[in-house]
C-alpha cells in the first residue's frame, strides 16, 4: 500500500524557518521513477504547488517562492523534506505532499498525504 | 509566469445537469493535464490524467478533453456526491501549476 504522511510543527513564529517532512512507504524514492511534490492550501483558498523533486534528484520550484524554498530527499529514510525560510502569517496553510510517476506512464498526483496544518503567528 | 486560468470559479446546478469546467493555459503544453476533486476537509483526488484518461474507480460521468491551451472537465449528470471543488493541473514539468479551482454546488 502506497502512503505519504506529512509531519512538522503546528505553529511557527514569523521570520522562522519551517521544516516539513514527507514520509513515504510502498514505493522507492530512487528506484521507481517516482517524484514528490509539496503543495499548500491556505484556509478557504486554492491549491498552490510549491516544489518538486524528481527521482533523478532534479528540483523544481514555484517561481514566486523560489528564494525561500528548498526541497531534498533522503532515500535511505524514504523521506522528502521541504524547508521554507522567513515564514509570514500569509504562509498559514495546510501543507500536502503527493507523489507522481514520471514519464509516459504517469497518472499525475495519484497518491496524496492527508496534509498538515501550519499556523504562522507570534 | 505560466498560469492556468479556470472558469467558472463557482457554479450551482441541479442533480442530473451537465456541468462543464474549463481550464486555459497561458502557454501550450503536452497532454499532461489532470483534474482533481477535493471534498471539504480532504486531500485532493485525481479524477482524470493525460487530459482524458479516467483514473481507476472514477465514475464514467466524468470526462476530460482538450489540447494545447484549452482543456475541459465535463460531468454529464451531476450527482449529490459530486459537491466539491475541482482543480486542473499541468504536471509534465516545472512549474506544476494548478488552476484556481471551481466550487460545484447543488441547486
Contact B23, B88 (CB under 8 A): yes
Chain A nearest-CA distance from B73, in A, is: 16
Using DSSP's 3-state secondary structure scheme, residue A46 falls into coil
Over the stretch A32-59, which tens digit does the pLDDT of each residue have? Answer: 789 999 999 999 999 999 999 999 999 9
Q: What is the pLDDT of residue B29?
A: 87
For residue B70, the cross-strand partners are B24, B67
Starting at the edge strand found earlier in the chain, the sheet holding A69-74 runs: A3-7, A18-25, A79-84, A69-74
The pLDDT score that the predictor gives to residue B88 is 98
**Among the listed residues B107, B89, B85, the one whose alpha carbon sits nearest the alpha carbon of residue B97:** B89
Q: What is the dihedral of CA B33, B37, B42, B44, to 10 degrees?
A: -10
Q: Which of A49, A109, A115 sits opposite B95 (nearest CB)?
A: A49
Which among B95, B92, B100 is positioned nearest to B4, based on CA atoms?
B100
Q: Residue A25: what pLDDT?
A: 96
Burial string for B12-31 (b: 16+ CB within 10 Å, else e) reads eeeeeeebebbbbbeeebee
Distance CA A48, CA A45 (A): 9
How confident is the model over B47-63, as a mean pLDDT?
97
Cβ-contact B33, B64 below 8 angstroms: yes
Residues in chain A where the model's pLDDT stays below 50: none
Q: Which cell numbers hold the place of B30?
A: 503536452
pLDDT at B94 over 80: no
**Distance in angstroms (rounded) separating the CA atoms of residues A107 and A99:** 10
Q: Is A101 on the interface with B (CB under 8 A)?
A: no
A56 to chain B, minimum CA–CA distance in Å? 13
- The residue of chain A with its CA nearest to that of B34 is A108
**What's the rounded Cα separation, in Å, for the pair A34 and A107?**
11
Measured distance CA(A97)–CA(A91) in Å, rounded? 16
- Classify residue B91 by its DSSP letter: -
Angle at A25 between CA A71 and CA A95, to 5 degrees: 45
Inform me whether the C-beta atom of residue A113 falls under 8 Å from chain B C-beta atoms.
yes
> Residue B92's pLDDT is what?
87
Amino acid at each position: 500500500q502506497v502512503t505519504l504522511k506529512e509531519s512538522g510543527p503546528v505553529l511557527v513564529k514569523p521570520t522562522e524557518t519551517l521544516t516539513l517532512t514527507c514520509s513515504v512507504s510502498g514505493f522507492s524514492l530512487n528506484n521507481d521513477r517516482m517524484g514528490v511534490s509539496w503543495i499548500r492550501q491556505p484556509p478557504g483558498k486554492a491549491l498552490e504547488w510549491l516544489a518538486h523533486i524528481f527521482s533523478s534528484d532534479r528540483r523544481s520550484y514555484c517561481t514566486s517562492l523560489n528564494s525561500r524554498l528548498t526541497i531534498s530527499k533522503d532515500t535511505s529514510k524514504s523521506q522528502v523534506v521541504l524547508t521554507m525560510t522567513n515564514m509570514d502569517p500569509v504562509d498559514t496553510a495546510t501543507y500536502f505532499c503527493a507523489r507522481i510517476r514520471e514519464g509516459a506512464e504517469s497518472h499525475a498526483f495519484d497518491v496524496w498525504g492527508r496534509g498538515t496544518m501550519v499556523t504562522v503567528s507570534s | 509566469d505560466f498560469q492556468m486560468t479556470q472558469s467558472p470559479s463557482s457554479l450551482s446546478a441541479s442533480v442530473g445537469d451537465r456541468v462543464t469546467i474549463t481550464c486555459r493555459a497561458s502557454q501550450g503544453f503536452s497532454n499532461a493535464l489532470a483534474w482533481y476533486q477535493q471534498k471539504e476537509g480532504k486531500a485532493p483526488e485525481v479524477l482524470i490524467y493525460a487530459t482524458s484518461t479516467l483514473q481507476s474507480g472514477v465514475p464514467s460521468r466524468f470526462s476530460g478533453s482538450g489540447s494545447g491551451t484549452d482543456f475541459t472537465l465535463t460531468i454529464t449528470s451531476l450527482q449529490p456526491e459530486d459537491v466539491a471543488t475541482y482543480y486542473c493541473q499541468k504536471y509534465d514539468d516545472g512549474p506544476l501549476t494548478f488552476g484556481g479551482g471551481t466550487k460545484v454546488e447543488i441547486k
